[in-house]
Structure 1
């Protein structure tokens, strides 16, 4: 199934990240960790495994794919969406699970949106806008209020910095503002929203929780590095002490749309050690090797994904006696040894098909059909069999078989096929 392959592709960079974090410990590069989380999100959210089924067989004859767009929903045929020849089917139970999942996610999203909207409106009402100049960056706008305990950034589309009124123009305040500006520049709230989307999409995989946990931790360490870059050891020490003191006095409630200066208390020790570390540069060769390994291992899921065999019956023509023929054959025919379906193109090319059941399953493909005839075999209790012939077409990419019009029925007194 496509979601399983996407889940595996997204989990591979996370496992590599965890292994490097455990092996390197204090020498671990948080920028590398952030890049690996990005790769994980790509695997979780982008179904690149279907690329080979979406590409035309002849790339030189690519047509304008955006000219003809059609959407329709037809639950009777279990065909959910069709876009320029790209078809998506799903069985009833997958549809029900998807609808329940969509209901829960929508409810949670509406609750968080309302909460976020109320908080931002309140903050804009009780805060005052100010500007501060950061060397190398320029003027940075932020909001202050006596009701704020510690600085943080908030928002997705138009994020802004909120700081306590006690924030002065000292070197420590400059480092704190650099920390918060780093969150804005890298759009950390938006990335954490993608992490939450990956968790919702792959709710069956508990490892997806690591995307949000690891990215939150890595983003705070990277922001600390941006805040203390170029400052003296004493100034970095003062910054670390300020973090510890604020962490002891303030209780932080983690939410996706908010980046707190303090972060989680259990990571404070590691953050302080990283702040005071002198040489924090990572090996470029090691970084490139880890990223290339993640891309290669995740890319192998392209070969692991293959759509399940699907059969679609589109004809309900009743069978009448004039289409029937009776035969008695002594010659053994092995056409139906492994399956009850036998497809042969108009050019007498036999294409193997399988039939686990006749209901369509999850499948995404831009079909390239070949026309022909399909024979369906029915064993009888008296030792004979019936073979019904239909016109049909089959996709040369994913073997999706579409059974069309009824042609004839052949009855055998003794089954020569099995």
Structure 2
């Protein structure tokens, strides 16, 4: 009976998230994401993933190699974080799960942002049509058509300053160039999108 309740809860979570997204977003609802959430819910309704922990045999690890704390941890009743001098800080299992999910979320978000920045920089780089070098004022920048984006730096390692083609006629052009050049000197594109 407990297994059926766990399966019902695991399957209901993605379905409820899908429903909430539909209610909140209405016209902008992403049907592909909704379909994936519903399929995930069906998967958790039908497949008892909670039983995976029983697939590992209990005698898979030799008993003489495991300390008392390790046996408690493997039994699933306690979890611990190692501290100095062989002491342990006992933490509830839910805290371990939440912290790992939080870390996974941060990693996924970071990878998503890097990919998004790379695609944006790559699309801007495709519009570059001229390189301007002004040795008199010590300026080097690239021009793109108006309306693509504003002044920015693109690239991770081979960074470039990009301006719309009519922007060099702007009265504050030199100040904006110095601002973007400061981003290049500090290698800000390695840490954030410099605009």
- Give TM-score scaled by structure 1 length: 0.24
Larger radius of gyration: 1
- Select the structure that is richer in strand: 1
- Select the structure that is richer in helix: 2
